[in-house]
Amino acid sequence: MKVKYIFIILLSLIGFVGCSKDQNSTPKPKTYFRIDVPKPEYLTFDTLSLPFTFKYPNYGVIEERQDKNSNINWFNIYFKDYGCKLYMTFINLNKNIRLDTLINDSYNFTKEHDKFSSGVIEKEFVNKRDKVYGYLFEIKGSQVASPYQFYVTDSSKYFLRGALYFDYKANNDSLSPIINRIKTDIDYMISTLKWK
């Protein structure tokens, strides 16, 4: 009988302690919404003012910028749904604008992100048939402002450079689905580029 009362009291104490409101809970880690990025269809970029064509994703909008310099043209591809832009610079080469200087500038622009970068993956692009040569730079790191950049040239007359920037503070770990989608589309854009 005594054992029975001790058992009931012990069981009651365990029940009361287990139901106490002062539970120390472990905080949950910060989470982000899942981002689903659909596969796009592609449109053709072809304007009379620029001597090249390429295909770009239908979720991008071309923003042309007018400038009085006949050797340099700027335009952007704005990805409004994802809050980012691909800033594009096209330059006609001549004796005052040298290819080696522009290539060095491209490397220097990429190096500006070294402070926040955990590494840069360089990928060479060669299309001998259409005379399109260049490099793509994937800049790794969660706080990198421009995770993807590139330049392409025909090695004699034309130079095209692009850099992807987001409209808000970078957190590339959570943006990786968007970055990967746009990176794939930029790669496709470069592979379809043709000089006129």
Q: Specify the long-range contacts of residues 104-112, CB closer than 8 Å, at least 24 apart.
A: 106/135, 106/149, 106/151, 106/161, 109/149, 109/161, 109/163, 110/137, 110/139, 110/149
Q: Which residue reads 């070294």 in tokens?
A: 114
Sequence spans of domains, the chain: 59-195
Per-residue tokens: 102: 């522009």
For residue range 30-66, list pLDDT tens digits in order: 665 666 777 899 999 998 889 999 999 999 999 988 6
CA distance 161 to 125: 13
Greater confidence (7 vs 76) lies with 76
Q: Which CATH class is domain 59-195?
A: alpha beta
Banded pLDDT at 99 (limits 50, 70, 90): very high
Do 82 and 57 form a contact (C-beta atoms < 8 A)? no
Tell me the whole-structure pTM to 2 decimals.
0.80
SS3 83: coil
Round to whole Å and give the CA distance between 52 and 98. Answer: 19
**From the centroid of its chain, how far is CA 190?**
15
